[in-house]
Chain A
Amino acid sequence: MDLTEKDVEKLASLARLELTPEEKRRFAEQLSSILDYVKQLDDVDTNEVGLGTHVPPASSFRNDDIELWPNSQPIIRQFPERAGNLNKIRPVLE
């Protein structure tokens, strides 16, 4: 399975990730070799296998109750840009 630099570029944009031309080239090569490696799973017959759960089922459900966070200032202080207690972000649409 070969991933092209163009594929990598497309995936990077889906993942909201800027890459340098050098990264695109290198990743295309490295990811192709990893995809070749995982191709061996095609040898396993999984026709009889359901998806099931691969881990024990969640055991400790709790109500989705709102808890007041005791000290929100340390969280607010870490906003990259803020206006008072509000987190300020760039415009979604230009």
Chain B
Amino acid sequence: MDLNQLTITLAHDGLLKKEFSSRELTQAYLAAIKRLDPSIHAFITVMEEGALRQADAADAVFASGEATELTGIPLAIKDNILIDGIAATSGSKVLENYVATYDATVISRLKKSGAVFLGKANQDEFAMGSSTENSAYEKTANPWDPSRVPGGSSGGSAAAVAAGMCLGALGSDTGGSIRQPAAFCGVVGVKPTYGRVSRYGLSALASSLDQIGPLAKTVMDAARVLQAISGQDGRDPTTQAVGDMNLSKVTQDIRGIKIGVPKEYFIEGMDPDIKKAIDQAMEKFQELGAEIQEVQLPLTKYALAVYYLTVTSEVSANLARYDGIRYGLSAHDTAKNLAEVYSRSREQGLGAETKRRIILGTYTLSAGYYDQYYVKAQKVRQMIMQEFDRVFRQVDCLLTPTTPSVAFSFGEKFSDPLMMYLSDIYTVPANIGGICGISIPCGFTRGLPIGMQIMGKSFDEETILRVAYAYEQSTDWHTRQPKVR
């Protein structure tokens, strides 16, 4: 049996039946990382020793009969999520020497369920980017074509899942950073509803948009990881008491489900093969008994502008903490006063995209421009949220492409920030609206995966998972795997 070809569900069965131990499973994934990561560069830190220790503990739990569905399952964790005692760079040079001093809530929850952490995955600096090219450490290659980007900002997480270097991963999604790399790498990625998952222990990017979520090979695998990390947390007051999802609903058929297709998402300039793949998916959904309805979301075209004004404003505030005073890179030995410690540490530690956004956010929040930019964006954001409310009274979920193009080449969009931002055009609305979304594989073109996005009402992850699961069960896109050399 090739342990690197399994899903979380199959691995759990194998562990239960004692076909292999958690230690053997973890060793197989550590070996895959040793073999493949020198060409993929998905990991910033590999936690070999800790992973084997967790695997042995998981084997003991299996022996005692108290295993959960994630006990002994090897996962990759995006580097901006803190694991006590492990380096957490967030893809930034400013945190090169920073070691986390506590567990993020999602990490303590996964530890409780017995999961194994293989390592910390590469990302764009502080999750700003759509290609992982903004990492201060390495460029992650797309496992389907190493000359192309894996997407971003959770590019390391998506590439690690796609290349079979882990069974699942955590990413974070502020404007598409889970769904877009999931689409580019041909895996499943979920952006949960704002308030389902605690962000305590996540390096904040834009706090009114950030969510942590799973990437995995199948919908059910992603659902299981999501279930494990969800729930109210006193340390993140935006988390809501909504209770667990009922995963038995995910496997129900989708007869009578109303799927809305917003025509605003089929813009000029999108790859025609992506359009074709979505059309075929619509037919498949109809075969499965769902009803397809065209709907209108006319404010969609403003979502990206709202998004960048909101993000940069929040970034300029959130990233003020990287100042060389308490931890991380510090220019204290060359500075003559405190102000110079701040400005030099930030100059030396932060990358171009981060600086660009801090400057823009400082501008949009400054006296005289605040109303014109930040307040205006928040008002349009209200209207976009109301538009989603309205459309979700007509339909149960929305079907769109995840991205307007498939994975692009390194350097292709790097020098033009606006071009790069446009690759998130279909994913940012869900963050603006605070709703949930999933990307699943729905085809290939020129050897590269195509992703389809299903968005749902706030806290109705059960429906989008159910629709995605029904599609996945009737297609075989998710079974294809890249040949990584």
| Chain A residues proximal to chain B, CB less than 8 Å | 3, 7-8, 11-19, 23, 27, 30-31, 33-35, 37-38, 40-42, 44, 46, 49-52, 54-56, 58-62, 71, 74-75, 78-81, 87, 89-94
Contact = CB atoms under 8 A, between A and B. Distances in A.
A17 B358 contact: yes
Given A41-B380, A51-B378, 5 more contacts: A14-B366, A31-B356, A59-B240, A62-B234, A90-B335
Interface stretch (B146-154, B286-294, B322-330): B322-330
A54 B324 contact: no
A42 B309 CA distance: 13
B418 A34 contact: yes
A49 B237 contact: no
12 contacts: A14-B362, A16-B323, A37-B305, A60-B237, A60-B241, A62-B237, A74-B85, A79-B327, A90-B336, A91-B337, A91-B338, A94-B336
A44 B194 CA distance: 25
A12 B343 CA distance: 9
A30 B130 CA distance: 17
Contact of B417 (A17, A34, A74): A34
Contacts of B340: 90
A58 B382 contact: no
Contact of A54 (B208, B350, B363): B208
Contact of B383 (A7, A46, A61, A79): A46
A1 to B, nearest CB: 10
Contacts, number: 177
B476 interface: no
Contacts of B241: 59-60
Given A59-B237, A90-B335, A90-B337, A54 B326 contact: no
Nearest to A33: B418
A87 B326 contact: yes
A55 B352 contact: no
A31 B358 CA distance: 11
A17 B232 contact: no
> DSSP class of A's interface residues: helix, strand, loop or mixed?
loop
A94 B356 contact: no
Counting contact residues on chain B (CB < 8 A from A), the size range is 35 or more
Interface of B: 85, 97-99, 101, 194-195, 208, 232-234, 236-241, 299, 301-302, 304-306, 308-309, 316, 320, 323-328, 330, 332-333, 335-344, 346-347, 350, 352, 355-356, 358-360, 362-363, 366, 373, 375-383, 385, 417-418, 421, 434, 458
A55 B195 contact: yes
A55 B194 contact: yes
B318 to A, nearest CB: 12
B269 to A, nearest CB: 15
Given A38-B305, A74-B99, A80-B330, A56 B337 contact: no
B327 A17 contact: no
A60 B200 CA distance: 13
A91 B379 CA distance: 43
B337 A92 contact: yes
A63 to B, nearest CB: 10
Contact of A16 (B239, B305, B346, B418): B346
A90 to B, nearest CB: 5
B359 A27 contact: yes
Nearest to B316: A15
B238 to A, nearest CB: 6
For the complex of A and B, the 3 pairs showing the least CB-CB separation, nearest first, are A80-B330, A18-B347, A46-B379
